[in-house]
Amino acid sequence: MKQTKRPINCFILVMYIIMSFSIIEFQIPQKATATELEQGVIDIVELKNNYKIGIGDILDIVTWKEADFSRENIVVRLDGKISLPLLDDIVAAGLTPLQLKKNISSLLKKFIDSPNVTVVVRSPASQRFYILGEVARTGEYPIQKELTIIQAFAMAGGFTEWATKKEIILIRKKPEGGTDVIKVDYKKLSQGKGLENNITLKADDTIIVP
Which of 100, 123, 146 is the last residue in one of the domains? 123
CA–CA distance, 97 with 207 (Å, rounded to integer): 28
Supply the mean pLDDT for the chain. Answer: 79
Q: Are residues 190 and 132 in the same domain?
A: yes
pLDDT level of residue 176 (50, 70, 90 thresholds): confident
Residue 41 lies in a domain: no
pLDDT digits (tens, 9 = 90+) for 34-70: 333 333 333 333 334 578 899 999 999 999 988 888 9
N- to C-terminal Cα distance for the chain?
Answer: 69
Instruction: Quote the number of domains for the chain.
Output: 2
Residues of the domain holding 113: 50-123
Which of 123, 139, 162 is the last residue in one of the domains? 123
Which of 83, 108, 123 is the last residue in one of the domains? 123
Residue 10 lies in a domain: no
Q: Are residues 100 and 65 in the same domain?
A: yes
CB neighbour class for 82 (10 Å; exposed up to 12, middle 13-18, buried from 19): buried
Residue 1 lies in a domain: no
What is the CB neighbour count within 10 angstroms for residue 31? 9
- List the beta strands (DSSP E) in 76-167: 81-84, 88-91, 117-123, 128-133, 139-142
At 171 the pLDDT is 95
Q: Are residues 71 and 116 in the same domain?
A: yes
Q: Is 81 helix (H, G, I), strand (E, B) or coil?
A: strand
pLDDT for 99 beyond 80: yes
At 49 the pLDDT is 55
pLDDT for 192 beyond 90: no
CATH code for the domain of 154 = 3.10.560.10
